[in-house]
Amino acid sequence: MDRGLLGRGLPSFAGARPPAPAAMANSSVSRDDALSDVDVMLRVKTGDESAFTYLVQKYRRPMVGFMYRLCHNASTAEELAQEVFLRVYRSRSSYEPTAKFTTWLYRIATNLAVNYARDTRHERPENTLRLDEPDRETGTTPDLADDSLTAEEQILKRERLAAIRSKVNALPERQRVAVIMHKYQQMDYREIAGVLKLSESATKSLLFRAYETLREQLKEFVSGK
């Protein structure tokens, strides 16, 4: 990966929560709290690096979480998220606000993740995900033992979670990305449609087929609950 851009003063990914646009009073970014992400990106286009810092800090954690759910490797997720923001920066001069900023951002991320998955298909183990790994976005570990469950129930819960993740990973590429955006990134149909360049109705059909497949393949866990 080309790290030269970050080395010339662009923000590190380590850092605190994003400042509100009003907090960047000494930059060219306005004090107006109503600034949208598109407005901020347009400031990036004019060369305002503090505006770019704001966007990186705001979207870093969601982007790392998105990449982690696609590649299941923490260090790779960090690398891919960094590459997304590098591509955002490189594209600043040609940026046009034809869609929501998040639609544009996740389109870049999805293309990068899909290409990475294709390029490394034969290099990666089928499943590198551990059930006890903390969520990359929230820092929580949802699969920890629940004291209210018996040992047998805890085993069944872990098996169910492992099965869900395995079946999601086995979905066709576009369905898998759509499910991750819908279920884990809390993106609505319109946002997902924009990222995947589909109509809203086609996106609903895509997700319907994906969830139907998951429901059928996981029915033993549902019925056995």
Of 95, 93, 66, 100, give the one whose Cα is nearest residue 80: 66
Q: What structural domains and CATH numbers belong to the chain? A: 4-119 (1.10.1740.10), 151-223 (1.10.10.10)
Each residue's pLDDT tens digit, 33-67? 568 999 999 999 999 999 999 999 999 999 999 99
In angstroms, rounded to a whole number, what is the distance separating the alpha carbons of residues 69 and 164? 13
Q: With 0.75 as the threshold, say if the pTM is over it.
A: no
CB of 54 within 8 A of CB of 21? Answer: yes
At residue 221 the predicted structure's pLDDT band, cuts being 50, 70 and 90, is: low
pLDDT in tens, 173-199: 999 999 999 988 889 999 999 999 999
DSSP notation for 134-151: PPTTT---TTSPPTTS-H
| pLDDT, tens only, 98-140 | 889 999 999 999 999 988 888 776 554 444 444 344 444 444 4
Q: What percent of the chain has pLDDT over 90?
A: 48
Residue 118 has a pLDDT of 81
Most confident of 52-56, 137-141, 159-163, 215-219: 52-56
Alpha carbons 181 and 173: distance in angstroms, whole number: 12
Interatomic CA distance for residues 97 and 156, integer angstroms = 48
**What pLDDT does residue 152 have?**
65
